[in-house]
Amino acid sequence: MTAADSAISVLVLGIGNLVMSDDGVGVVVAQQLQQRFRFPDTVEVLDGGTLGLDLLPKLEHITHLIMIDAVETGERPGTCVRLSGEELPIALQTKVSPHQMGLKDLLAVSELMGHSPKEMVLIGVQPGSIEMAVGLTAAVEAVLENLISNVLFELANFGIVVTAD
């Protein structure tokens, strides 16, 4: 194994639909990260939108995956969560995220193809509304900086240095 083979490669994937209120929070966080920070070449921040298997090639050469999404936890709107490892909705029986099926399928197919990242983290927030509307609810808008900080914290834990623009 060469040094390049053991290098960390990270995909930060914001998931969501901007016309379904808080469902778009992952996309908003990804866009904020892209606008406000500079990342090393080993990190890609991607607006994954409403997800799909077309994102599969993005998982082929990464070692770490950070996903940002609205997550149904039953808690009050704006409650932030961090899920990793077995907690992730790869094979969950209950609905965790509005995108669970797409996310579950993407991660399952990636694993079947032998491209499963060795570390995966989901940074989520309990939505207040996922009805057709543009813009986040006040409860989710209020925790945007917390979500961004949580992503930066995960990157720092991976040894990634991020600089503000």
Q: What is the pTM of this model?
A: 0.87
CA distances to 7, 29, 46, 149 from 68, rounded to whole Å, are: 23, 7, 10, 12
Q: How many CB atoms lie within 10 A of CB 137?
A: 18
8 Å CB contact between 29 and 112: no
pLDDT digits (tens, 9 = 90+) for 75-85: 999 999 998 98
pLDDT digits (tens, 9 = 90+) for 18-38: 999 999 999 999 999 999 999
Q: Is 5 helix (H, G, I), strand (E, B) or coil?
A: helix
pLDDT digits (tens, 9 = 90+) for 86-133: 777 543 334 555 555 566 777 777 888 888 888 999 999 999 999 999
* Domain map (residue ranges) of the chain: 7-159
For the structural domain made of 7-159, what CATH number should be given?
A: 3.40.50.1450
